[in-house]
């Protein structure tokens, strides 16, 4: 059952992609022809299944492989159609399912195009949801992880006596830390508070740039000594940075509301039997 559903979804996505492609073809959009039928950029996009991949920048042998795959597909498709497969009951059933799903998908696309939001709606949303537009504080830190509190306290004493704090910390991390970052001088790189366990994040955030923890920080992993290399405070994104994002959120909300209203009305007159 699961494989059948997956297959129908794949077929539907391919048919939909072909059905809604509206760009006119230029000579450079045609990569081959098979009995007069073009192998187009849209065909290639369907095979690649990744809009981030630029076919024209792929290695020549990879391009050739993709094009040949499409040529073979068109040849097999033509042969399948000649065989009379369209008269097959399974084919007819699948096409009817695709027709219904495609009709729904295109209808929903058309309904979404009718949605609009005003500038006031966007600015009001921004004003009422300020917490959504705060970036997380970013920390750049190093740490030394040991198994007991006494070891951590000894490391802190060594740090206290050191003249070059960062250099000493890096060396201690390489020689004393049991954590995987020890070989890199304990470097964790840049991270947000939500990426670390709360005890660690709170202790690191409380430090000032260039300082280290004066008491061992206990977590589920052991005891840490933390050195804060840098801190980027949280900031509020300005309206221009999030205007388009808010617009899309509001359009999606309106669309869902509209569809829900349509479904509610349809359910009132439909004969529904749940088995």
Same domain, 227 and 246: no
The answer on 212 and 76 residing in a single domain is no
Mean pLDDT along residues 17-23: 46
Residue 113 lies in a domain: no
Using an 8 Å Cβ cutoff, are 251 and 117 in contact?
A: yes
Q: Where do the DSSP E strands lie in 95-157?
A: 138-146
Res 56: pLDDT: 86
Asked if residue 85 has pLDDT above 70, the reply is yes
Q: Which residue has the higher pLDDT, 72 or 25?
A: 72
Determine the straight-line distance between the first and last CA of the chain, rounded to whole angstroms.
Answer: 18
Whichever domain contains 206, its CATH number is 3.10.50.40
Q: pLDDT above 70 covers what percent of the chain?
A: 90
Same domain (yes/no): 249, 210: no
Q: Are 219 and 197 in contact (CB under 8 A)?
A: yes
Q: How far apart are CA 128 and CA 123, in angstroms?
A: 9
207 and 250 assigned to the same domain: no
pLDDT range class, residue 100, cuts 50, 70, 90: very high
Q: Is residue 101, in this structure, part of any structural domain at all?
A: no
Residue 104 lies in a domain: no
Instruction: Answer whether residue 252 is part of any domain.
Output: yes
- Same domain as 75, residue 205: no
Q: Are residues 6 and 123 in the same domain?
A: no
Residue 72 in any domain: the answer is: yes
At residue 50, the pLDDT reads 85
Q: Residue 213 is encoded by which pair of tokens?
A: 């923890």
98 domain residue, yes or no: no
Judged by average pLDDT, the poorest of 39-48, 80-89, 162-171, 180-189 is 39-48
pLDDT value of position 28: 64
Average pLDDT over residues 229-237: 94
Chain centre distance of CA 70: 29
Of residues 194 and 241, more confidently modeled: 241
Residues 220 and 263 in one domain: no
Smallest CA-to-CA distance from 182 within 222, 149, 153 is with: 222
Residues 64-77: what's their mean pLDDT?
93
Does pLDDT of 197 surpass 50? yes
Q: Are residues 68 and 124 in the same domain?
A: no
Q: How far apart are CA 18 and CA 252, in angstroms?
A: 25
Range 113-126 average pLDDT? 96
Report which of 25, 62, 67, 26 is spatially closest to residue 44, judged by C-alpha positions: 67
Domain that holds residue 185: 135-232
Secondary structure tally for the chain: helices H, strands E:
9, 6
Q: Is residue 182 part of a domain?
A: yes
The total of structural domains in the chain comes to: 3
Number of neighbouring beta carbons within 10 Å of residue 206: 12
At 26, the pLDDT band (50, 70, 90 cuts) reads low
216's CB contacts (< 8 A; 6+ apart) are 149, 152, 153, 156, 223, 224, 225
Same domain, 52 and 22: yes
Residue 39: which CATH number? 1.10.8.1040
Mean pLDDT of the chain: 89
β partners of residue 236: 134
Q: How confident is the model at residue 181 (pLDDT cuts 50, 70, 90)?
A: very high
pLDDT above 50: residue 8:
no
d(CA 222, CA 220): 6
Is 50 exceeded by the pLDDT of residue 125? Answer: yes
Indicate if 141 and 56 belong to the same structural domain. Answer: no
Q: How far apart are CA 224 and CA 212, in angstroms?
A: 11
Res 27: pLDDT:
53
Phi then psi dihedrals of residue 163, to 5 deg: -85, -40
Domain identity same for 123 and 86:
no
Report yes or no: 229 and 141 within 8 Å, Cβ to Cβ. Answer: yes
242 and 124 housed in the same domain: yes
pLDDT(38) > 80:
yes
Q: Is residue 52 part of a domain?
A: yes
- Could you tell me the CA-to-CA distances from 41 to 68, 232, 250 in Å, in that order? 14, 44, 33
Residues 17-29 as b or e (16 or more Cβ within 10 Å = b): eeeeeeeeeeeee
User: Does the pLDDT value for residue 130 go beyond 60?
Assistant: yes
C-alpha pair distances (Å), 38 with each of 7, 79, 157: 25, 16, 74
State the average pLDDT over residues 244-260.
Answer: 96
pLDDT in tens, 133-174: 999 999 999 999 999 999 999 999 999 999 999 999 999 999
């Amino acid at each position: 059952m699961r494989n059948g559903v997956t297959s129908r979804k794949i077929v539907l996505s391919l048919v939909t992609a072909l059905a809604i492609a509206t760009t006119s073809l230029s000579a450079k959009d045609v990569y081959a022809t098979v009995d007069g039928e073009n192998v187009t950029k849209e065909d290639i996009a369907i095979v690649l299944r990744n809009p981030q991949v630029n076919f024209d920048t792929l290695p020549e042998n990879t391009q050739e492989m993709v094009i040949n795959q499409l040529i073979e597909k068109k040849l097999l498709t033509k042969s399948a159609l000649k065989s009379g497969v369209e008269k097959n009951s399974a084919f007819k059933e699948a096409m009817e399912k695709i027709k219904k799903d495609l009709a729904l998908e295109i209808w929903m696309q058309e309904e979404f195009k009718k949605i609009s939001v005003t500038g006031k709606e966007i600015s009001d949303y921004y004003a009422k949801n300020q917490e959504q537009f705060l970036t997380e504080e970013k920390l750049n830190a190093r740490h030394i992880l040991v198994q007991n509190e006494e070891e951590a306290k000894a490391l802190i004493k060594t740090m206290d006596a050191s003249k070059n704090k960062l250099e000493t910390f890096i060396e201690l991390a390489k020689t004393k830390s049991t954590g995987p970052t020890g070989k890199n001088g304990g470097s964790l790189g840049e991270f947000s508070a939500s990426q670390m366990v709360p005890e660690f994040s709170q202790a690191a955030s409380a430090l000032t740039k260039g300082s280290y923890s004066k008491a061992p920080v206990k977590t589920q992993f052991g005891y840490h000594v933390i050195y804060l290399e840098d801190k980027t405070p949280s900031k509020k994104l300005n309206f221009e940075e999030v205007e388009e994002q808010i617009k899309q959120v509001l359009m999606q909300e309106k669309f869902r509301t509209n569809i829900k209203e349509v479904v509610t009305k349809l359910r009132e007159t439909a004969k529904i039997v749940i088995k």
